[in-house]
Amino acid sequence: MTVFRDTRLKPQLNTPLYQQLYEHLRSAILSGQLPKGTQLPSTRALADKLGVSRNTILNAYDQLFAEGYLESVGGKGTFVTQALPEVSFQPRGIWHPAPARRAHRLSEQTQALLKAPIMPPSLPLSRGLAFKAGVPALDAFPYELWAKLVARHAHRLNPEVMQYQDAAGLRSLREAVAEHAIVARQVRCTPEQVIITSGSQGGLHLAARVLLNSGDRAWIEDPGYLGARAALLASGAEIVPVPVDAEGLNVQAGIARAADARVAYLTPSHQFPLGVTMSLSRRLALLDWAKRSGGYVLEDDYDSEYRFDGHPLASLQALDASESVIYVGTFSKVLFPSLRLGYVIVPLALVDAFVAMRRAISYTTPYLEQAALADFINQGHFMRHIRRMRTLYAQRRADMIAAAKDLPLEIYAPSTGMYLVGWLNEGLNDRAAARKAAEYQLRVVPVSMFAIEAALRGGLVLGYAAVTRDEIDAGMQRLGRALHEMSEEKT
Amino acid sequence: MTVFRDTRLKPQLNTPLYQQLYEHLRSAILSGQLPKGTQLPSTRALADKLGVSRNTILNAYDQLFAEGYLESVGGKGTFVTQALPEVSFQPRGIWHPAPARRAHRLSEQTQALLKAPIMPPSLPLSRGLAFKAGVPALDAFPYELWAKLVARHAHRLNPEVMQYQDAAGLRSLREAVAEHAIVARQVRCTPEQVIITSGSQGGLHLAARVLLNSGDRAWIEDPGYLGARAALLASGAEIVPVPVDAEGLNVQAGIARAADARVAYLTPSHQFPLGVTMSLSRRLALLDWAKRSGGYVLEDDYDSEYRFDGHPLASLQALDASESVIYVGTFSKVLFPSLRLGYVIVPLALVDAFVAMRRAISYTTPYLEQAALADFINQGHFMRHIRRMRTLYAQRRADMIAAAKDLPLEIYAPSTGMYLVGWLNEGLNDRAAARKAAEYQLRVVPVSMFAIEAALRGGLVLGYAAVTRDEIDAGMQRLGRALHEMSEEKT
């Protein structure tokens, strides 16, 4: 049989000899080289022929028996199974990644998602964090304390907490979150209404799946957060961009464009990326729309813990008397993004639906981080860390404003959050400016990247939370050179 | 003003006094009790009247100014803002959970999900784990080793790994998974094709979102795994139950019912819950259907690491020459469920689509568990643990079979996995048997719970992986009494 004439087992490979032989024979059977009903050599004869131990042959034959490629016919020997179906089959041999061998059809929501912009991939950390938005002060993180809490729970793992857990999240964490949201954000809730998610992205996606049919319309701030757009697109929503002005999302414009929208996504406390706060009259108008139309409001409250003058503004949820607001929070901005923890707070009547969908998506997040975070909050470290960061970010914001004073930028820096916007001189293209800044090792994102229809003056989102005074000074000097160079090239 | 006549601040409450006053005034404004344009008392006058410090009043007024409820009219004093919009608003006062105040409309997929069965909630652990399926031997878990790996990474957290990470998962873990899948399951892949998910539930849901439009048809084994049904329903699929027999999923029956299905879900290595292995001819017929129709196969390979005689059977993916198989794996069965780690291995041409959807769903899972697991695999602990568990589960399976010999059960126990099926005598209702067993502190799940249309003989899924010899003996005795009692009641 030519099949065995060509067989060369290679002891130098990582793959065991029996497996090499098994794969060789399987391919030969599937390709028709060894037709149905062919008798195979005895294990002893084949071992002699290939110069390997008889055990190697036995192991390979056993595997082929077990998987149905071979059958033994009482006393007569080993044969390729007669009952193999007639199907065209290309054995793959040694596998190499190759161009697609077939037409692939993706779902409509996946096709929409692949066309949507995403944040540019991060530069290597060696280039520093100036001026990445959305990342907290990792230089001021309480590393030892956090590691101690995590290690303590890792050492206390036990069968009770290693099994499948409640899809709504760890009870102690839900209680801690409810307490924090009530005190710090005046959210009205009980712990039952808190559902732990994998970051705010997990919360936005969860809400979209619970509330939106494919094809439903959804308002989104224009310009607005790309992660929210992705969550809505991933749920098959038709995106309705709604303009943002100094009072936040323009509710009347939204109603004029799509009064029948099922969902309105917004960042009322600190609009991303423009930085404005939604006015009280707009808030009330939005809730009125939701109440009348039966729509829902997705309130993304991503960084409002950081307000530098006076107390944080109350959340939109605090004003909601008609169960229309889904409040979305995250721990990415107070702790760190790769923790992947966030939460939604939903009307009591929707809890069962959210938990059922949460379970279908992936049950819940890992136990360990949830337990450590519950301790972190309950022992007071969370509020202490927020207070420390509030002072630090206020200082860094002031440093940024000072360092920007000689740059050709009009700074808009509300006294909240972790970033400011530097508006460029009229006519300058912010994408070109961001590319130029990248040449100077700076991570700045152009405001226009977040726009759908909005025609905006060029601007740069400049995060200051993650950078020290020195990095701010050096980074702003480089930004100045980049902007100068761009103007030179333009003229 | 009656508003202030009624005002009683309560120092004994947790809520600070200024916040009590703020909430009181906000409610009064929103309800119209304090109409637009009303002048408020001076801070000093109100402080005297209420018997609190002037700072309390100042803080409350500041908050109301910041949120837009109050305005100051140059020199004349403080007034309720004139520009408040006319909207009907019910102040909520102290919040109590209440019946829904509005009609809530859930998405179609959520409504479908809420009608689907889910596994019954776990009994308290104090009642023991006999005979919970799907939970590994937590009594034989390498606790110290795992805690050490986790603690090491917790103590080495640094800005690089605390930022947003690759949505496909940690590179080192993807490499380790690819290597394991190639060696142990003969999967053909490169690390690029591996995407880390939140357990197999996360993988099933992810695949459904990438591949299915709302309303697309999906085959599912009948009886079959409830988590897969939930993932498909959550994506708006129309479920097509396909019967299972001794050769696994009946491919011809599936084609007859819905040749145009977009997805076929199955557990070919070890069918859940019946325990059968899919025959080679059915495997080839399924792949042939997928190739001809353009459909996809979701291969859920949840416990095939545990095969007690000979080598594990190759995966279905190993036979796929037309990029039709999405391979779904989990670490819940080798490590533990609340780790929430699993993976999908997808055709190279689909990687970008899967990663885009993964990002939109929740980016990825936490860094810490991914890093610890990569070490656990790369240092050889993973394969060592599998080998130890294989020996242990083979023993526990034998113990179960021995303990069942006097029970009125026909045991079906293939030499693989973590559970067996005990078929009841003809005519006995398995749901009644499971309820009776629960009275005896046993966690047994009736096979019929997993059926959609299939009319099955009553049977009980009995997990043996998580229970010791003593628990097996005692549990089977209790099960015998429960079954006896049920027969008595019946006659």
pLDDT digits over A343-385, tens only? 999 999 999 999 999 999 999 999 999 999 999 999 999 999 9
Containing A143, the helix (H) or strand (E) segment is: helix A143-155
pLDDT at residue B102 tops 70 = yes
- This model of the complex carries an ipTM of 0.90
Cα R_g (chain B), whole angstroms: 30
Interface of A with B in 159-188 (CB under 8 A): 159-165, 183, 186, 188
B488 vs chain A: nearest CA distance in angstroms?
A: 35
pLDDT of residue B29: 84
Please answer whether residues A373 and A443 qualify as being in contact, where contact means their C-beta atoms are separated by less than 8 angstroms.
no
Q: Is B82 on the interface with A (CB under 8 A)?
A: no
Question: Which one is predicted more confidently, A126 or B142?
Answer: B142
Q: Do B192 and A97 touch (CB under 8 A)?
A: yes
DSSP lists the bridge partners of residue B243 as: B222
Q: What is the mean pLDDT of residues B281-310?
A: 93
pLDDT of residue B88: 40
- Token digits of residue B82: 């004139």
Helices (H) and strands (E) in chain A, counts: 17, 14
Considering only CA atoms, which of A27, A23, A62, A69 is closest in space to residue B281? Answer: A69
Please answer whether residues A331 and A364 qualify as being in contact, where contact means their C-beta atoms are separated by less than 8 angstroms.
no
Q: What is the mean pLDDT of residues B267-281?
A: 95
Q: Is B101 on the interface with A (CB under 8 A)?
A: yes
Cα–Cα distance, B489 to B429 (Å, whole number): 12
pLDDT at residue B180 tops 60 = yes
Q: Do B147 and A154 touch (CB under 8 A)?
A: yes
Kindly report whether the peptide bond that precedes residue A223 is cis, defined as omega within 30 degrees of 0: yes
Considering only CA atoms, which of B77, B7, B151 is closest in space to residue A154? Answer: B151
Cα–Cα distance, A191 to A175 (Å, whole number): 5
DSSP string, A80-97: E-TT----------S---
- Residue B310: C-alpha distances to residues A59, A80, B279, B389, B398 (Å): 8, 19, 17, 15, 17
pLDDT at residue B440 tops 90 = yes
Start-end of H helices in B186-343: 199-211, 226-234, 251-258, 280-293
* Chain B residue nearest residue A290, CA to CA: B102
Phi-psi region at B195: left, alpha or beta (left = phi > 0; alpha = psi -120 to 50): beta
State the amino acid at position A175 in one-letter form: E
DSSP lists the bridge partners of residue A410 as: A423
Between A12-21, A343-352, B215-224, B242-251, the lowest mean confidence (pLDDT) is in A12-21
pLDDT of residue A98: 59
Cα–Cα distance, B206 to B335 (Å, whole number): 22
Residues in chain A closer than 8 A to B173 (CB atoms): none
pLDDT at residue B86 tops 90 = no
pLDDT band at B488, cuts 50/70/90?
A: confident
B482 vs chain A: nearest CA distance in angstroms?
A: 26
Which residue stretches of chain A have pLDDT < 70? 1-2, 6, 14, 84-100, 121-124, 310-312, 490-491
Please answer whether residues B204 and B265 qualify as being in contact, where contact means their C-beta atoms are separated by less than 8 angstroms.
yes
Which residues have CB under 8 Å from B224's CB, separation 6+?
B241, B244, B265, B266, B267, B272, B450, B452
pLDDT of residue B97: 52
Q: Which residue has the tokens 């090239």?
A: A489
pLDDT at residue B11 tops 80 = no
Residues in chain B closer than 8 A to A113 (CB atoms): 356-357, 360
Burial (CB < 10 A; 0-12, 13-18, 19+), residue A120, is exposed
Cα–Cα distance, B388 to A433 (Å, whole number): 59
Q: Do A340 and B105 touch (CB under 8 A)?
A: no
Query: Beta strands of B42-189 (E only): which ranges?
Result: 70-73, 77-80
Containing A402, the helix (H) or strand (E) segment is: helix A381-403
Q: Which residue has the tokens 């054995």?
A: A91
B120 vs chain A: nearest CA distance in angstroms?
A: 12
pLDDT of residue B93: 43
φ/ψ of residue B373, rounded to 5: -70, -40
Considering only CA atoms, which of A168, A172, A146, A275 is closest in space to residue A223? Answer: A275
Q: What is the mean pLDDT of residues B303-315?
A: 83
DSSP lists the bridge partners of residue A422 as: A411, A460
- Token digits of residue B419: 């559970």
Q: Do B84 and A281 touch (CB under 8 A)?
A: yes
pLDDT of residue A92: 42
pLDDT of residue A121: 66
Q: In what order do the strands lie in the sheet with A419-424?
A: A409-412, A419-424, A459-463, A445-446
State the amino acid at position B58 in one-letter form: L
SS3 content of chain B, % helix, strand, coil (to 5): 45, 15, 40
* Chain B residue nearest residue A339, CA to CA: B366
Among residues of chain B, what percentage have pLDDT more than 70?
94
Please answer whether residues A117 and B355 qualify as being in contact, where contact means their C-beta atoms are separated by less than 8 angstroms.
no
Q: Do A147 and B141 touch (CB under 8 A)?
A: no
- Token digits of residue B450: 């997993």
Task: Give all domains of chain B, ordered by start, each with its CATH number.
Answer: 2-89 (1.10.10.10), 118-139+383-490 (3.90.1150.10), 158-379 (3.40.640.10)
Containing B412, the helix (H) or strand (E) segment is: strand B409-412
The closest CB to that of B199, out of A122, A159, A362, belongs to A362
Optimal mutation site among B304, B362, B468, interface A, most CBs of chain A within 10 A? B362
**Measured CA angle at A7 (ends A5, A11), to 5 deg:** 145
Q: Do A291 and B102 touch (CB under 8 A)?
A: yes
pLDDT of residue A295: 97
Q: Is A151 on the interface with B (CB under 8 A)?
A: yes
pLDDT at residue B481 tops 60 = yes
- Token digits of residue A110: 């996946």
